[in-house]
Amino acid sequence: MSSSATQNRSSRTPLIAGNWKMNLDHLQAVATVQKLHWTLKDAGHETGSVQVAVFPPFTDIRSVQTLIDADKIPFELGAQDLSAYDSGAYTGEVSGAFLAKLGVGLVIIGHSERRAYHHEGDDVVGAKVKAALKHGLTPVICVGETAEDLERFGGSAVPVSQLEKALEGVPASADIVVAYEPVWAIGSGQAATPAQAQEVAAALRGVLARVLDDDAAARTRILYGGSVKSSNIASFMREPDVDGALVGGASLVVDEFAAIVRYQKHVGV
Ligand code: PEP
């Protein structure tokens, strides 16, 4: 599999996704999306060469959706989480049905911050993946090892196991995105090396082929996340199994995020 899936890299549109986490209120969100749009336009960024997605806090989504629709801004709208349930007595939760109604297309599931601070295990992640698919949302399934896991098991074992569990019961035709985010690289300023990212991304593509099928492995985008910046994005994008990036801190700084989106121009890949 892996060689044919890797050779199909050109059929996978690169995706640069900004996870804002709990930053920017709805007014700041609107200003940020407007500025990002104009920065990319002024720089002559070719829409379609790279897909851009923003993942604001829930409270911003309606405002960002209104702006994107009104100004025909070519960004995908994402959410940072969803409930495993459709509706009911789940105080504080947000249903995939509500997100879909707001024009949300992508939803992050299993981010290491939710796994760590909200004790979300593989069972919860699996249930949320199914909830997203049920409501027509594309899950961005986050997997990654801690520094301790890396030392004990190497880079691939934990992300491979997390992805296998997240894909249980998922049909091969499902539209999904996988984000490999080593926990030790998130927010630390210490990114993985491109070779490390490639090794794990190739192993994850192998999981897609084994658990889903070769076609799913060939078409599914695998992102790298963890201290991505404009100065290192091109080195990740040169790797055959890395199809984009999930960007945290750097997605909050418009000029920096725009430079990441424009990685093909400013470094040449
Ligand atoms: C993230 O939290 O998804 C992330 C990749 O963060 P950062 O880019 O800040 O490391």
- Average the pLDDT over each of 6-15, 145-154, 196-205, 226-235 and give the range with the smallest value: 6-15
- Please tell me the pTM assigned to this model: 0.96
* 10 class by beta-carbon count within 10 Å (0-12 exposed, 13-18 middle, 19+ buried): exposed
Q: Find the mean pLDDT for residues 179-200.
A: 97
- Report residue 1's pLDDT band, with 50, 70 and 90 as the boundaries: very low
Q: Give tens-digit pLDDT for 146-160.
A: 999 999 999 899 999
The pLDDT tens digits of the residues spanning 75-128 come to 999 999 999 999 999 999 999 999 999 999 999 999 999 999 999 999 999 999
Note the pLDDT tens digit of each residue in 44-79.
998 889 999 999 999 999 999 999 999 999 999 999
Question: What's domain 2-267's superfamily in CATH?
Answer: Aldolase class I (3.20.20.70)
Q: Where are the beta strands (DSSP E) in 145-243?
A: 177-180, 221-225
In the block, tokens 């909830």 appear at 131
Nearest atom in ligand 1 to 191's CA: 10
CB 86 within 8 A of CB 128: no
What's the pLDDT score for residue 5?
Answer: 57
Ligand 1 centroid, distance to 245 Cα (angstroms): 9
Nearest alpha carbon, ligand 1 atom 3: 248
Strands (DSSP E) contained in 43-189 are: 51-55, 75-79, 106-109, 138-143, 177-180
Q: Residue 114 and residue 125: Cα distance in Å, rounded?
A: 10
Q: In the prediction, which pLDDT does 266 show?
A: 61
pLDDT for 48 equals 86
Q: Which residues line ligand 1 (CB under 6 A)?
A: 19, 181, 186-187, 225-228, 246-250
- C-alpha torsion angle, residues 55, 59, 61, 64 (rounded to 10): -100
Over 50: is that where the pLDDT of 185 sits? yes
CB 72 within 8 A of CB 34: no
Ligand 1 center to 139 CA (angstroms) = 17
> For residues 140 and 104, is the Cβ–Cβ distance under 8 A?
no
46 alpha carbon to ligand 1 midpoint, in Å?
25
Q: In the structure, what pLDDT confidence band is assigned to residue 10 with cuts at 50, 70 and 90?
A: confident
Smallest CA separation from ligand 1 atom 2, residue: 248
Burial of 189 (0-12, 13-18, 19+ CB in 10 A): exposed
- Please give the DSSP secondary-structure letter assigned to residue 227: S
Q: Within 10 A of 118 (CB to CB), how many other CB atoms are there?
A: 10
Chain-wide mean pLDDT for the chain? 95
What positions carry a catalytic annotation? 111, 181
For residue 217, give the H/E element and its range: helix 214-219
User: Cα-flanking dihedrals φ and ψ of residue 128, to 5°?
Assistant: -70, -35
Residue with tokens 């076609």: 215
**Cβ neighbours of 166 (radius 10 Å):** 27
Determine the Cα–Cα distance for residues 21 and 263; give it in Å rounded to an integer.
23
